[in-house]
């Protein structure tokens, strides 16, 4: 019973601390103009770490989606609808979710490790004694970079995924849908609102990943082995947040 109570207490304390960190980071966004160099540096880090893998991932996800859906649709003579079906799946679900998972794994883990190491090796204490707010200096630039980078990456993943799907649809003899037909069906089914949903999701996921990883990093204490644990904790927490928020957003946007 005590263990359950302790876990609940820890959970609610974590939620409270996360909310506090979000509000403080939001407050420090007023200092964004004079921290542009840091924000741009983190944006480049996001791009460097994720773009090649995101391209590969999106291309194959799009291709597999087309392969799985197209062959079934062809059984009923409905292969002409593949552009819309794959487009909706990609734009509304797979694009934002897969991009955010990738960012959490590639960049979020690095953020948690970096900030965690800074905490363990007294660098955060050094910032405080220099009267530099760690949330302004460390969290706010990463949060803003994530909020900008994840939607941009998501749109890129959507486009590459659709290209992959269109290629597979065209070259697979069982499906045999031309890129033009694929595009026309996509344009007919996928509306601007669907793309907006994708953007909303990726902004929320980007915020959640950045906050979760920074929060875990800032709470890391102990020795070097704790840094490794913090990375695992940050990635798992980010994944959980993405899945839960995905359901909540999907439900509220319906």
Partner 1 sequence: MTLWSRVLGSGGPRVEREGPGGENRATPGVRVEVQRLNKFFGAHHVLRDLDLTVDPGETFVIFGPSGCGKSVLLKHITGLLSPDSGRILVDGEDLGAGDGHRRFRLAMVFQSSALFNSLSVGENVGLWLKEHRICRQEEIARIVAEKLDLVGLAGKEATMPSELSGGMKKRVSIARALAVSPNLMLYDEPTAGLDPVLTEQIGHVIADLKRLKITSLVVTHDLNLGFAVADRLGMIHEGRLIETGTPAGIRATTNPVLKAFLSTQMKVLEGGA
239 binds partner 1 (CB under 8 A): no
Assign residue 77 a region (left: φ > 0; alpha: ψ between -120 and 50; beta: otherwise): left
Q: Cβ closer to partner 1: 3 or 130? A: 130
Q: Report how far residue 87's alpha carbon sits from residue 108's, in angstroms, rounded to the nearest whole number.
A: 28
Number of residues interacting with partner 1: please give it, by CB under 8 A: 14
218 binds partner 1 (CB under 8 A): no
125 binds partner 1 (CB under 8 A): yes
Phi then psi for residue 76, to 5 deg, are: -105, 5
132 binds partner 1 (CB under 8 A): yes
Of 46-75, which residues contact partner 1 (CB under 8 A)? none
Q: Cβ closer to partner 1: 143 or 241? A: 143
Alpha helices in the chain (DSSP H): 2-28, 36-75, 82-88, 95-103, 109-120, 123-129, 134, 140-171, 179-189, 192-218, 224-253
225 binds partner 1 (CB under 8 A): no
Residue from 126, 240, 244, 253 in contact with partner 1 (CB under 8 A): 126
Q: Which of 126, 121, 108 is nearest to 215 (CA)?
A: 108
Site string for partner 1, 27-46 (x = CB under 8 A): -------x------------
Distance, CA of 36 to chain centre: 22
CB of 150 to partner 1, least distance (A): 22
Of 80-119, which residues contact partner 1 (CB under 8 A)? 114, 118
Are residues 22 and 206 in contact, defined by beta-carbon separation less than 8 angstroms? no
CB-hemisphere CA count at 13 Å for 36?
A: 2
**Spatial CB neighbours of 22, under 8 Å, sequence gap ≥ 6:** 207, 211
Q: Cβ closer to partner 1: 49 or 165? A: 49
Q: Cβ closer to partner 1: 41 or 56? A: 41
Is the dihedral angle over the CA atoms 248, 107, 62, 185 positive or is it negative?
positive
Residue from 7, 10, 128, 191 in contact with partner 1 (CB under 8 A): 128
Q: Taking contact as CB under 8 A, which single stretch among the options 14-22, 93-101, 121-129, 233-241 is the one that binds partner 1?
A: 121-129
Q: Taking contact as CB under 8 A, which single stretch among the options 1-9, 91-99, 123-131, 232-240 is the one that binds partner 1?
A: 123-131
CB of 3 to partner 1, least distance (A): 19
């Amino acid at each position: 019973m005590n263990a359950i109570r302790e876990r609940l207490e820890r959970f609610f304390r974590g939620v409270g601390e996360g909310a506090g960190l979000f509000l403080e980071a939001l407050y420090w966004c007023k200092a964004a103009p004079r921290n542009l160099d840091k924000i741009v540096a983190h944006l480049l880090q996001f791009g460097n770490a994720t773009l090649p893998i995101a391209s590969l991932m999106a291309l194959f996800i799009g291709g597999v989606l087309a392969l799985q859906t197209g062959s079934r649709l062809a059984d009923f003579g409905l292969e002409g609808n593949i552009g819309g079906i794959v487009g909706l799946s990609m734009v509304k679900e797979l694009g934002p979710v897969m991009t955010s998972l990738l960012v959490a794994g590639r960049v979020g883990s690095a953020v948690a490790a970096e900030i965690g190491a800074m905490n363990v090796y007294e660098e955060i204490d050094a910032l405080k004694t220099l009267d530099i707010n760690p949330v302004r200096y460390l969290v706010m630039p990463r949060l803003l970079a994530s909020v900008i980078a994840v939607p941009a990456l998501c749109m890129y993943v959507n486009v590459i995924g659709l290209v992959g799907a269109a290629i597979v649809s065209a070259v697979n003899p069982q499906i045999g849908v031309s890129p033009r037909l694929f595009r026309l069906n996509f344009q007919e089914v996928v509306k601007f609102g669907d793309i907006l949903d994708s953007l909303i999701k990726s902004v929320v996921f980007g915020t959640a990943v950045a906050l979760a990883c920074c929060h875990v990093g800032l709470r890391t204490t102990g020795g070097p082995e704790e840094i490794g644990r913090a990375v695992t904790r940050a990635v798992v927490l980010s994944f959980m947040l993405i899945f839960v928020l995905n359901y909540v957003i999907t439900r509220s946007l319906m």
